[in-house]
């Protein structure tokens, strides 16, 4: 009896040693990152006030998208990257669920596997610096900017500018405005809201030095492109379209827009694409 | 009974390090040869005469005393160099930032093994670039990090974070691809002072791909700039304020600044472009060479947002000597303890980057500690120094070297571009400084 009790105690102690050994080991610690989640990612790049890590709810466009995602029961997380090309990489090479923004400049192959859902219409204008304003005669044709230097974000389509004999320099909006001040870039294209946000934050004393050319440069549409190569791509695109329609009809869309742009703002121009 | 105790205390204080001052001592009192130190004067004067450099301040100290402090040549057009001239010490900021991190480590506020993402969430889920074979449909892929970047990785430049300028130093397709992302994201090396906070830059940098898996490479880069922001997050103070109160004030480094006070502007040395063959021109604008962008005139700004942990500090020879002497004294200066002896030993250990040599300033034989390169063996191209000598440099041709065995500090401050041209001169200065030891 005593012997059995001793063996049982010994076995218990041995088991205790064996099972508790890993907790004394000095190997890699268990990190939360070892557990993967099933959340799908939507990639985009900074484009204030529409898309911004610094803005409340990540900006106007992202708030609309998150509202639609929630109402459509799509589990996805928006990841704002500092490089548009990185966002495009995740979409085209890693089959991310979707990419958000505009002017994706996709290859034909990538374009074919995407379903674009338009969300917001925006008018874009060309801007120049007061010091070279007189040299610009914008008549709606890019040929009038021949030999000038156009500043834009890497990843945007610049073929038509190059074809018109315009030189292209790349940078973030902040850097492009600095380059315009230094005379290294002659003009840029931007929605008025985006430029005003940047000037207000980072160039408060020089706002009047950046001149808008009154004739509209382009009508663009911000939206979300779903990836048909993603397992949920087609289904999510369909659910998103329906969800977007719902919030437009319910006036929730207007409410978000007015939250950012002021209650007096006319929302119709932002929905031009619906026509 | 009280009087002998007081006397004993006084004697004890006297026995420890005597206060450091900028007064020069007779070299022989600290075991240095005056005649041999004169050779340094001759060497510098020769370089000035040959218009290789416009001017310089050199400082040799031993056993806590300055035996040689000399200004020669021009600080600016028609302005003589002075021993209290102010210099852009650029990357000699890095040991200061590393010291600031170690202060937080000593306060128990962080561990070197902590993932950076613990304090800056943007560092979670980082990716590493891998180039795909030539002819692949797409040139690269991004793979998850095997483990998070740690504070230790940042201190030892093993994070995989690059400098944009490295495309010029060690060109290859992978580096070019990472740097192209840096360019897209508006990341700069911090040698020009961008109009944004260091936190804004670091948060963007964190979302860009790493050049290599953390711990698997030695790549000199923006890692110490990340540490500057980390100090803000952990301490709750602006980076420059923390350095001021925790390092500059206790060490009485009265002429060290992130942004120069207006009344000291006249002491700031100009930068000179030298072809090292007799053509020497004062730099008036930015120096752009591929991805390397230097803005020496940004140093004239008396205020600004950007506080680079890797490049922003302006200082004098005497101030930097005080900083170096604190290390030589194993963490204290003039009775003020900044770091513990064990922390200084940790910072100057050569086994932090076992697989990798710090091959930027020298070839092999140097290891990177926590803020310095440390001479580990003689299988390298430098002619002087002992095992355990530690040093670093600044991009406008500034250098310092600390030799714990011989208790010497050697400093050379000039403002000469391009950077690499002065390497031979520096090697000669350290050889002359070393051969001036006469005991």
ipTM: 0.84
C-alpha closest to that of B291 among B404, B167, B389, B390: B167
d(C-alpha B66, C-alpha B68), whole Å: 6
DSSP state of B331: S
Nearest CB to A83: which of B125, B148, B185? B185
Going by C-alpha positions, the residue among B252, B329, B243 that lies closest to residue B61 is B329
pLDDT recorded at residue B26 = 97
* Residue of B177, B180, B185, B293 to mutate for A, most A C-beta atoms under 10 A: B185
If you average pLDDT over every residue of chain A, what do you get? 86
> Are B228 and B279 in a shared domain?
no
Q: How confident is the model at residue B4 (pLDDT cuts 50, 70, 90)?
A: low
Is residue B389 within 8 A of residue B374, CB to CB? The reply is yes
User: Does the distance separating the beta carbons of B186 and A174 come in below 8 Å?
Assistant: yes
How many angstroms separate the CA atoms of B348 and B392, rounded?
Answer: 12
CB-CB neighbours of A19 under 10 Å = 9
| A 120-149 → B contacts, CB under 8 A | none
Task: Please compute the mean of the pLDDT values over residues A34-52 and round it to a whole number.
Answer: 81
For chain B, percent of residues with pLDDT exceeding 70: 95
Confidence (pLDDT) at A139: 82
How far are the Cα atoms of B12, B98, B286, B298, B395 from residue B193, in angstroms, in the given order? 47, 20, 11, 6, 15
Over range A225-249, report the average pLDDT. Answer: 96
Whether B8 is covered by a domain: the verdict is no
**Is B184 in contact with A33 (Cβ distance < 8 A)?**
no
Tens of pLDDT along B236-267? 999 999 999 999 999 999 999 999 999 999 99
Q: Does A26 score more than 50 pLDDT?
A: no
CA A260, CA B431: separation in Å to the nearest integer? Answer: 66
Q: CB contact, 8 Å: B411 with chain A?
A: no
Non-local CB neighbours of B108 within 8 Å, separated by 6+ positions: none
Residues of chain B positioned with their CB less than 8 A from the CB of A174: 186, 195-196
B180 interfaces chain A, CB cutoff of 8 Å: yes
Q: Is B184 close to A82, i.e. CB distance below 8 A?
A: yes
Q: What is the pLDDT of residue A261?
A: 87
| pLDDT value, residue B21 | 85
Instruction: Delimit the domains of chain A by residue range.
Output: 39-121+220-274, 123-218
Which pTM does this prediction carry?
A: 0.87
H/E segment holding residue A6: helix A2-24
Is the bond leading into B418 cis (omega within 30 degrees of zero)? yes
Which residues does B190 contact at the CB level (< 8 Å), separation at least 6?
A: B201, B222, B225, B306, B308, B310, B311, B312
Q: Give the model's confidence band at A35: pLDDT under 50 very low, under 70 low, under 90 confident, else very high.
A: very low
Q: Determine, for residues B185 and A172 on separate chains, whether the beta-carbon distance falls below 8 Å.
A: yes
Q: Which of A84, A92, A202 sits opposite B184 (nearest CB)?
A: A84
Last residue of a domain, one of B200, B227, B242: B242
Considering the domain architecture, whether residues B415 and B287 belong to the same structural domain is answered as yes
Same domain, B168 and B259: no
Chain A residues near residue B196 by CB distance under 8 angstroms = 174, 202
Check for a shared fold between A39-121+220-274 and A123-218: yes
Do B386 and B265 share a structural domain? yes
pLDDT in the model for residue A27 = 46
- Radius of gyration of the CA atoms of chain B, in A: 22
Give residue-wise pLDDT tens across range B368-421. Answer: 999 999 999 877 666 678 899 999 999 999 999 999 999 999 999 999 999 989
Written as six digits, the tokens of A141 are 């044709």
Residues of chain A neighbouring B186 (CB-CB closer than 8 A):
82, 171-172, 174-175
The partner residues of B391 in beta bridges, in order of sequence, read B373, B401
Residue of chain A whose alpha carbon sits nearest to that of B143? A94
Residue B10 included in any domain: no
pLDDT value at residue A6: 59
Residue B420, classed as helix, strand or coil, is helix
- Which chain A residues touch B150 with a CB distance below 8 Å? none
Please tell me if residue A53 touches chain B, with a CB cutoff of 8 Å.
yes
Q: Work out the mean pLDDT of chain B and round it to a whole number.
A: 93
Give the gap in angstroms from C-alpha B140 to the nearest C-alpha of chain A. 9
Question: What pLDDT is attached to residue B17?
Answer: 58
- The fold for domain A123-218 equals D-Maltodextrin-Binding Protein; domain 2 (3.40.190)
Interface size A-B, in CB pairs within 8 Å, comes to 54
Place of tokens 């120096």: B287
Q: Mark which of B185, B216, B242 sits at the end of a domain.
A: B242
B184/A53 CB distance under 8 A: no
User: What is the 8-class DSSP label of residue B244?
Assistant: I
Domain-located, residue B406: yes
CB contact under 8 A, B208 and A83: yes
**C-alpha separations of A163 from A168, A238, B135, B165 in Å:** 11, 37, 28, 32
Does the structure show a pLDDT above 50 at A19?
no
- Residue pair A43/A96 in contact (Cβ under 8 Å)? The answer is yes
DSSP-assigned beta bridge partners for residue A118: A223
Q: CB pairs under 8 A, 24+ apart, for A109-113?
A: A113/A227, A113/A228, A113/A229
B203 interaction partners in chain A (CB closer than 8 Å): 53
A151-188, pLDDT tens digit by residue? 998 888 899 999 999 999 998 898 899 899 989 999 99
Full residue range of the structural domain in which residue B130 is found: 97-242
Between A18-27, B46-55, B104-113, B205-214, the lowest mean confidence (pLDDT) is in A18-27
Specify the fold of A39-121+220-274. Answer: D-Maltodextrin-Binding Protein; domain 2 (3.40.190)
B142 in contact with A at a CB cutoff of 8 Å? yes
Q: Identify the pLDDT of residue A172.
A: 86
Give me the number of domains chain B comprises. 2
Shared domain check, B234 and B286:
no
What average pLDDT does this structure show over A250-263?
91
A134 CA to chain B: closest CA distance, Å? 27
Structure tokens at B61: 């100290």
- A82 with B147: Cβ contact below 8 A: no
Give contacts of A39 with chain B, Cβ < 8 Å.
none
Q: How far is B194 from chain A (nearest CA, A)?
A: 9
In sign, the C-alpha dihedral spanning B402, B403, B406, B412 is: negative
Contact B247, B221 (CB under 8 A): no
Residue B340: Cβ-neighbour burial (10 angstroms; 0-12, 13-18, 19+): middle
Residue B104 has pLDDT above 60, yes or no: yes
**By the 8 A CB rule, do A50 and A173 touch?**
no
Pick from B183, B195, B207: which is nearest to A81 by CB?
B207
Question: What's the rounded mean pLDDT across residues B352-357?
Answer: 86
Residues B195 and B138 both lie in one domain: yes
Residue A17's pLDDT band (boundaries 50, 70, 90)? Answer: very low
Mean pLDDT over residues B197-225, rounded? 97
Nearest CA in chain A to B195: A202
Cα separation, B424 vs B409, whole angstroms: 19
Query: Best residue in B139, B150, B184 to probe A by mutation, most A CBs within 10 Å?
Result: B184
Cα–Cα separations (whole angstroms), residue B374 to B66, B91, B389, B404: 23, 16, 6, 11
Query: Count of CB atoms within 10 A of residue A211's CB?
Result: 17
Q: Please check whether residue B33 lies inside any domain of the structure.
A: yes
Q: Which residue has the higher pLDDT, A266 or B317?
A: B317
Q: Would you say B31 and B63 are in contact if contact means Cβ atoms under 8 Å apart?
A: yes
Res. A189 pLDDT band, cuts 50 70 90 = very high
Closest Cβ opposite residue B138 in set A31, A83, A93: A93
Burial call A106-142: b when 16+ CB within 10 Å, e when fewer: beeebeebbbbbbbbbbebbbbbbeeeeeebebeeeb
CATH number at residue B252: 3.40.710.10
A184 touches chain B (CB under 8 A): no
Instruction: Tell me if B2 is assigned to some domain.
Output: no
Final residue in a domain of this structure, among B242, B270, B289: B242
Residue B380, token pair as written in the block: 């390298």
Tell whether B5 is covered by a domain: no
Rounded to an integer, what distance in angstroms lies between the CA atom of residue B128 and that of residue B144? 6
Assess whether B101 and B224 both reside in one domain: yes
The mean per-residue pLDDT over the stretch A218-246 comes to: 96
pLDDT band at A8 (very low <50, low <70, confident <90, very high): low
Among A82, A88, A203, most B C-beta atoms within 10 A, so best to mutate, is: A82
Q: Give one word for A155, left, alpha or beta, with left for phi > 0 and alpha for psi -120 to 50.
A: left
Assign A2 a pLDDT band (cuts: 50, 70, 90). Answer: very low
Cα dihedral A268, A270, A271, A272 sign: positive
Are B298 and B357 contained in the same domain? yes
């Amino acid at each position: 009896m005593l012997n059995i009790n001793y063996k049982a105690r010994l076995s218990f102690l041995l088991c205790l040693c064996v099972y508790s050994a890993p907790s004394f080991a000095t190997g890699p610690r268990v990190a939360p990152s070892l557990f993967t989640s099933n959340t799908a990612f939507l990639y985009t790049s900074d484009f204030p006030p529409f898309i911004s890590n610094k803005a409340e709810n990540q900006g106007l466009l992202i708030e609309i998208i998150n509202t639609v995602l929630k109402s459509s029961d799509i589990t996805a997380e928006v990841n704002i990257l500092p490089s548009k090309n990185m966002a495009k990489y995740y979409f085209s090479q890693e089959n991310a669920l979707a990419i958000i923004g505009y002017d994706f400049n996709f290859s034909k192959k990538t374009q074919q596997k995407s379903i674009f859902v338009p969300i917001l219409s925006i008018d874009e204008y060309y801007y120049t610096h007061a010091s070279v304003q007189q040299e610009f005669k914008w008549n709606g044709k890019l040929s009038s900017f021949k030999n000038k230097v156009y500043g834009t974000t890497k990843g945007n389509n610049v073929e038509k500018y190059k074809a018109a004999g315009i030189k292209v320099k790349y940078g973030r909006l902040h850097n492009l405005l600095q380059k315009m001040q230094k005379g290294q870039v002659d003009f840029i294209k931007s929605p008025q809201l985006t430029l005003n946000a940047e000037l207000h934050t980072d160039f408060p004393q020089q706002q009047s030095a950046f001149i808008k050319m009154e004739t509209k440069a382009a009508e663009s549409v911000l939206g979300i492109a779903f990836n048909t190569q993603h397992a949920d791509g087609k289904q999510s695109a369909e659910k998103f379209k329906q969800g977007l329609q719902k919030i437009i009809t319910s006036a929730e869309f207007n409410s978000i827009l007015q939250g950012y742009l002021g209650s007096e703002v006319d929302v119709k121009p932002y929905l031009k694409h619906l026509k | 009974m009280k009087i002998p105790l007081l006397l004993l205390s006084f004697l004890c204080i006297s026995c420890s390090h005597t206060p450091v001052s900028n007064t020069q001592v007779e070299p022989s009192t600290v075991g240095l040869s005056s005649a041999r130190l004169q050779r340094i004067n001759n060497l510098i004067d020769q370089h000035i005469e040959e218009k290789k450099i416009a001017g310089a301040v050199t400082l040799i100290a031993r056993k806590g005393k300055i035996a040689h402090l000399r200004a020669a040549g021009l600080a600016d057009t028609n302005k003589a160099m002075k021993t209290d001239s102010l210099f852009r010490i650029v990357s000699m900021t890095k040991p200061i930032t590393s010291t600031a991190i170690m202060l937080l480590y000593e306060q128990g506020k962080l561990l070197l093994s902590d993932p950076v993402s613990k304090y800056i969430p943007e560092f979670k889920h980082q990716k590493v670039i891998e180039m795909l074979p030539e002819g692949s449909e797409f040139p690269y892929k991004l793979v998850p990090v095997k483990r998070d970047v740690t504070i230790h990785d940042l201190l030892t430049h093993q994070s995989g974070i690059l400098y944009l300028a490295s495309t010029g130093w060690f060109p290859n397709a992978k580096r070019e691809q990472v740097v192209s992302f840096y360019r897209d994201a508006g990341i700069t090396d911090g040698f020009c002072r961008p109009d944004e906070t260091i936190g804004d830059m670091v948060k963007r940098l964190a979302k860009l791909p790493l050049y290599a898996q953390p711990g698997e490479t030695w790549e000199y880069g923006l890692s110490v700039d990340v540490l500057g922001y980390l100090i803000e997050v952990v301490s709750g103070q602006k980076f420059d304020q923390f350095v001021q109160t925790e390092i500059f004030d206790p060490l009485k480094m009265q002429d060290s600044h992130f942004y120069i006070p207006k009344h000291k502007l006249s002491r700031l040395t100009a930068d000179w472009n030298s072809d090292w063959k007799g053509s020497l021109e004062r730099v008036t604008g930015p120096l752009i060479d591929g991805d390397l962008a230097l803005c020496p005139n940004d140093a004239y700004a008396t205020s600004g947002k950007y506080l680079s942990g890797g490049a922003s500090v302006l200082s004098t020879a005497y101030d930097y000597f005080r900083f170096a002497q604190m290390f030589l004294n194993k963490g204290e200066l003039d009775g003020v303890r900044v770091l513990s002896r064990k922390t200084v030993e940790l910072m100057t250990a050569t086994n932090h980057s076992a697989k990798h040599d710090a091959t930027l300033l020298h070839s092999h034989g140097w290891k990177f500690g926590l803020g310095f390169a440390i001479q580990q063996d003689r299988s390298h191209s430098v002619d002087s120094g002992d095992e355990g000598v530690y040093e670093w440099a600044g991009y406008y041709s500034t250098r310092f070297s600390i030799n714990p065995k011989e208790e010497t500090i050697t400093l050379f401050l000039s403002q000469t571009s391009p950077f690499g041209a002065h390497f031979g001169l520096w090697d000669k200065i350290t050889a002359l400084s070393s051969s001036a030891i006469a005991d």
